Structure 1
């Protein structure tokens, strides 16, 4: 019996970021794998690192309006430290023992689907959490401005209910 193992392909053999598919909530992931990821994320929320706890408290204390960050969120096959899904922003805290190559590939997959990834070393978060929080808030404001500047989905830029009202006249 052969056993499957995960490995990182050499750069010349790698394909681009995976395309979204109609399986596993938009990613090509089996439901059993998603269940495992969600259980792992739940365990990670119960035992955060010192940097994650500190940044989490700072993000709660920051006045973010209607936008919130959730901790240890499953996106695709990745578990991210913090995610604001409405703004499509992910905040990752780089621990010293992390695999930079895997992080780079995961970031490429997330950015391919329009998610902005912000990375901060754990030492920076522990040294000056207020500065890190200020950078995150600045990026949130920029993403919000981008979203507001984009045309609406109905092609007219107004409220999509206007279309129904106009057709009845």
Structure 2
């Protein structure tokens, strides 16, 4: 039986870290649950999330692309700019500071910086929140300018490994 790439990624009998794209060392079942929950959250945003999304969507912030309710590790980030590895979290009244600190530390381990703003700040001072996000983006270096922490074991993408034009080769790239 031939599986689509999405079906293949959700095989329950495969180890979580096997293969590329399986995601963050999480089981395929748990990762699918996170993506479903994130989609539900995108369909039902809070009012502060709606307001902030209006100014972050479509590259309105100096061309930076944000995704809302993005799965990052085992968490769902309110807004994430992958290019600058910046996560913006909009916190309500019920957030636990200790859990937030632990979450921020784990996300930092994945290379992300977290900027937290409150619902109140978004609702009453959207321009100030916008400025704080712009400053954080300006301070962040490009994520892809840094070397990847887990380079490909096959050495793909390393400079000087591509055969010269016209040379015979049986590399994976030739069969893609």
Report the TM-score, using the length of structure 1 for normalisation.
0.70
| Structure with more of its chain in helix, by fraction | 1
Query: Within 2, Cα distance between the matches of 1:124 and 1:108?
Result: 23
For this pair of structures, how many residues does the alignment match? 138
C-alpha distance after superposition, 1:121-140 (max 9, x if no partner): 11111111111011101111
Q: 1:47 aligns with which of 44, 48, 53?
A: 44
2:17 matched residue in structure 1:
22
Q: 1:107 aligns with which of 104, 109, 121?
A: 104
**Alpha-carbon distance change, 164 to 61 in structure 1, aligned in 2, over 3 angstroms:** closer
1:6 matched residue in structure 2:
none
**8 Å Cα contact 1:90/1:115 also seen in 2:** yes
Q: 2:142 aligns with which of 135, 140, 147?
A: 147
Unpaired segments of 5 or more residues in structure 2?
A: 1-15, 149-156, 166-176
Unpaired segments of 5 or more residues in structure 1?
A: 1-20, 154-159
**Alpha-carbon distance change, 62 to 28 in structure 1, aligned in 2, over 3 angstroms:** closer
Report the TM-score, using the length of structure 2 for normalisation.
0.67
Query: Within 1, Cα distance between the matches of 2:38 and 2:146?
Result: 35
Larger RCO, structures 1/2 (Cα 8 Å, 6+ apart): 1
**Alpha-carbon distance change, 28 to 119 in structure 1, aligned in 2, over 3 angstroms:** same
Q: Once the 2 structures are TM-superposed, how far is the Cα of residue 114 of structure 1 from its aligned partner? A: 1.3
Q: 2:127 aligns with which of 123, 126, 130?
A: 130
Q: Once the 2 structures are TM-superposed, how far is the Cα of residue 53 of structure 1 from its aligned partner? A: 0.5
Q: 1:63 aligns with which of 56, 60, 65?
A: 60
